[in-house]
Structure 1
């Protein structure tokens, strides 16, 4: 294929842009791949895991209250080249010593505020106690150390707009966002990275890894996700292209090395002239397109089984039926619990409940220790109105439940209520909150997200769960503010569904609980005007 003439590039430009890739080598199936960089790195991790690769960063997670923007491993995001270098440099010192993180290792990383400490190198800037800070850093090191033994490091470069701590000379994870840091104007200063600085940080990061892991290879990408905002005086559109152009240039220079390759995911996203590949925010890339990027990435670099490829491709389809056919084909080649679970989830989306139950039963047969399968089966039986059978599935799987998972007790409470066992419902709700005291507030946040993506019925279900819980406990233990917010959420769900009378009724109940809340008052006034 002639890839050197633009006149012959049309097949690679329409309808989507897929530049040709010539790999310098392939990664064997089952290899450890360490992903690092912007949130686009998070996007591709699960796709690679489905193909049978070991992804250490997926083993890291924190409680929701420590990273409210999404939980999971999003706290690991490293948007700028210095952030990537500093994390590797920090881990290298501990790796060369004894692998144990001690208080001195945190000296330049922490910022005391609000009675706790912020880790300036991790996302979120939520203060925690020092013991937890130390514990979390050890957990982080236990993940990052894998970079010194893995077969491939995938680095995704995201931003050139950085903030530097003048006290330590280190760059911090993100812009100052809590009041104490914002007031500390002289300590935290904005810094627009030059091309030379970006190149130097990435070169040094690669050198740190190669000194301890000489066989490591590197795959560089430039994140296509635009700036959320710019701290320069430029239009954010101009600032974004300036940022990405520098980072793309850095990738190009480093890809000339034998151990470094560049994958053009940035070009595929930015040059494809189709708005449907973007979420409505026009910043984040739709899952089906990310999946197709990973498909092409794997075709070029990774060895994996045909069944794993079919499994992975099932996440990239625009139609549910196409995904179903791919999973059926994968199961004909190889029977795995995760394949049955995937097929069960697809059947559930299509409303094919009996087939979904059969698939999850097969998954349970192959892997009876997987607690999520019991949850899926309980919810499916609930949808069929078989509440006692649903409770039986939860009971069978209770020994496998993860510690501190209040969500499963919450489902148990809901099912007991539907089975007219009020005492069991209240007891399960108590156990849910004992396991996770912040559960109700987290449920409200979940409901608000569901509503924002137009999943109105699911948002209403969440709101009703919070309301029913609050109504099931004594008045002295009831949180009026939480109940008011649940009423507000339910009102908005009714409004979205066109049920204005119900929306007004719930908004009035919310106002009666918390008439001082300006958001509730404004919402009620808007509804009454309609």
Structure 2
């Protein structure tokens, strides 16, 4: 009896495409829509895992947009602690599509909205990027001036970008009630103080993520109508949840929502692609451990394999592990189980767990 499966390729069947494969060959997992060449100017943003992608592209010699370069006299480790060189702008980690959308909307907003400041010790920090000034600034006015410069730099340089790589991290977030802005971390974790009178917990659903991605793409096209968008989903589980669910269930829900939205959105647009880094890490086809002992941070060998597939698929020069190591400048000490090559606000939540 005839049916569509009789003419399907071997990779369509689990027995051939996964179970019978030798080693960990993911080369047939992904066919890109477009290539990346040395003429492309690439911008990166997203959750902590996106720093791996930035590092690999730098190591491959790609033309990376750096809208806010570090002062020349600043040592590399200090520059990284202050948020320079992590991404294409000094915006820190952007964990949700809503955060990214709101940042791009703010760039075009006239007049600029009030700057949201949090106290940190005797100083003040920008609540939308609270780790970028480890000791805080002297006044709220100084924070406002610095943010104005940040937005101006992005507005001036993003039109140069031909490819925007964005890594989706989670669907859980906190929002400031007065401004409506989505925060990278809950108040009281790094700076500021928490009150349910000023802050609310939100979980973005699939329709909201799709709406945010639509708006994000439209905003990027305001900078450059030819700009392409490349989406990935971070495979790193949530460090903690405020949803009331078990953290495993909350993390799975978050990643499932992002995974579905990212590829559906890519399927709907010729200039949007989805790269399956999430699948490579979480697939049952993995023959070796993918995570460190804390079951959160992805092993260096796995990151190397993901980046090698990324480079191969998009026609870029292969990157050796030693090149990635050279591209990773030392970073300040973080929590005991953190990947010390990354700067990640969300990892700090583990410090609030009971002993």
Report TM bin, short chain.
0.7 to 0.9
Shift of residue 10, structure 1, vs aligned partner? 2.6
3-state secondary structure, aligned to 2:174: strand
Of residues 108, 112, 127 in structure 2, which corresponds to 1:105?
A: 112
Q: Verify the 8 A CA contact 1:2 1:8 in the aligned structure 2.
A: yes
Query: Can you give the 5+ residue segments of structure 2 that lack an aligned partner in the other structure?
Result: 1-8, 339-355
SS in 2 for 1:315: helix
**Separation in 1, partners of 2:159, 2:184:** 22
Question: How many angstroms does 1:7 deviate by?
Answer: 2.8
Which has the larger Rg? 1
Q: CA deviation at 1:116?
A: 3.5
Give the structure 1 partner of residue 93 of structure 2: 77
Q: Tell me the residue number matched to 1:192.
A: 203
Note the alpha carbon deviations across 1:145-187, whole angstroms, 9 max, x for none.
Answer: 4333311111110111111111011111211225984343211
- Residues 236-275 of structure 1 correspond to what in structure 2 (within 5 A)? 236-256=247-267, 257-271=269-283, 272-274=285-287
Say whether the 8 Å CA contact 1:3–1:9 is kept in structure 2.
yes
Secondary structure in 2 matching 1:124: coil
Distance 1:243 1:152, change over 3 A: same
Aligned to 2:218: 207
SS of corresponding position for 1:208: helix
> How far off is 1:224 after superposition?
0.4
Which has the larger share of strand? 2
- Over the aligned positions, Cα root-mean-square deviation in angstroms equals 3.7
Q: Report the secondary structure of 2:232's partner residue.
A: strand
What is the DSSP-based 3-state SS (H/G/I as helix, E as strand, rest coil) of the residue aligned with 1:121?
Answer: coil
Q: Could you say what secondary structure the match of 1:3 adopts?
A: helix
Indicate whether 1:44 and 2:53 are aligned: yes
Distance between the aligned counterparts of 2:312 and 2:104, measured in 1?
29
CA distance in structure 2 between the partners assigned to 1:66 and 1:133 by the alignment: 18
Distance in 2, matches of 1:70 and 1:116, equals 18
Instruction: Quote the residue 2:193 is aligned against.
Output: 182
Give secondary structure in 2 for the equivalent of 1:25: coil
**CA drift at 1:237:** 0.9
In structure 2, do the counterparts of structure 1 residues 72 and 150 end up closer, same or farther at CA, with 3 Å as the change threshold? Answer: closer
Cα separation, 2, equivalents of 1:176 and 1:203: 28
The SS at the match of 2:31 is coil
Cα distance change of structure 1 residues 90 and 24 upon mapping to structure 2, 3 Å threshold: same
Matched, 1:31 2:43: no
Look up the match of 2:351: none
Partners in 2 of 1:189 and 1:124 — Cα distance? Answer: 21
Contact kept? 1:60, 1:73, Cα under 8 Å: no
Q: Which residue of 2 aligns with 1:10?
A: 18
Q: 1:295 aligns with which of 305, 308, 323?
A: 308
Q: Distance in 2 between matches of 1:69 and 1:314?
A: 26
Q: Which residue of 2 is the match for residue 222 of structure 1? A: 233
Q: CA separation in 2, counterparts of 1:274 and 1:205? A: 37
Compare relative contact order (CA 8 Å, sep 6+) and give the higher one, 1 or 2.
2
